Amino acid sequence: QVQLQESGPGLVKASETLSLTCTVSGGSISSYYWSWIRQPPGKGLEWIGYIYYSGSTNHNPSLKSRVTISVDTSKNQFSLKLNSVTAADTAVYYCAAMDHAEHFQYWGQGTLVTVSS
Amino acid sequence: QSVLTQPPSVSGAPGQRVTISCTGSSSNIGAGYDVHWYQQLPGTAPKLLIYGNNNRPSGVPDRFSGSKSGTSASLAISGLQAEDEADYYCQSYDSSLSGSRVFGGGTKLTVL
């Protein structure tokens, strides 16, 4: 059973960079597409992007220019950086494992990141 | 505005059957891409409920079923229980958005 745990600051200042890390346990880092998904308070889910263990990535076109996703296979971790944040980036950020069949099979518990002015 | 359209809310009494629709287009569901469904209980992370249009992960009751036809998909919940009250999201792949994985806007199910 794959388990994921997000970590990182819960408060980020506007115009700065949001940085989160997801630690993977109970599964192989090479088995899934490691993804980030966010959910603004009271709203729906938005896919941010994913990285494969090989380093290949894909991002939501609406966020692409601000998003960097990286992986550290030696630590079983992958990370998200979102730069130039605004209040609109305030959300619960989830890391998730996307199966090769394109569904998000495992999810972290989520972490709330608030962008302050 | 979500790429996949769901009704904002549905409701039903215990024991009844409800369906939640997910309407897409020719670049996602209509192109043959699979639809997946997630259940999000209040204050928790989403949980995979249905994958590949109509497959249930281990542990998901057979009261939950999925179907797909044309540019739409549906989630059906039979024998409604109070514990089914949650938000439900559909998800697919969209070929017109640079390989985006897309979600529906979500549907709040209320058990009366």
What is the pLDDT, as a whole number, of residue B98?
66
What is the pLDDT, as a whole number, of residue A110?
98
Residue from A52, A94, A104 to probe the interface with B (highest B Cβ count within 10 Å): A104
> Cα A26 to chain center, whole Å?
18
What is the pLDDT, as a whole number, of residue A30?
86
The answer to whether B65 and B73 are in contact (CB under 8 A) is no
- Cα separation, A67 vs A51, in Å, equals 12
Residues A82-111 have pLDDT tens digits of 999 999 999 999 999 999 989 999 999 999
For chain A, what's the residue count? 117
What is the pLDDT, as a whole number, of residue B20?
98
Mean pLDDT of each 10-residue bin along chain A, 117 residues long: 95 97 91 96 96 91 90 93 97 96 96 96
Shortest distance, CA A7 to any CA of chain B (angstroms): 15
- Cα separation, A4 vs A70, in Å, equals 16
Interface A–B counts its CB contacts (< 8 A) at 61
If you ran DSSP here, which 8-state letter would residue B75 be given?
A: E
List of chain B residues whose C-beta atoms are within 8 Å of the C-beta of residue A109: 44-45
For B78, other C-beta atoms within 10 Å of its C-beta total: 15
Give me the residue from B2, B91, B100 closest to A60, CB to CB: B100
List of chain A residues whose C-beta atoms are within 8 Å of the C-beta of residue B49: none
- Which of the residues in chain B have pLDDT under 50? none
Which residues, in sequence order, are CB contacts of A13 under 8 Å at separation 6+? A115, A116, A117
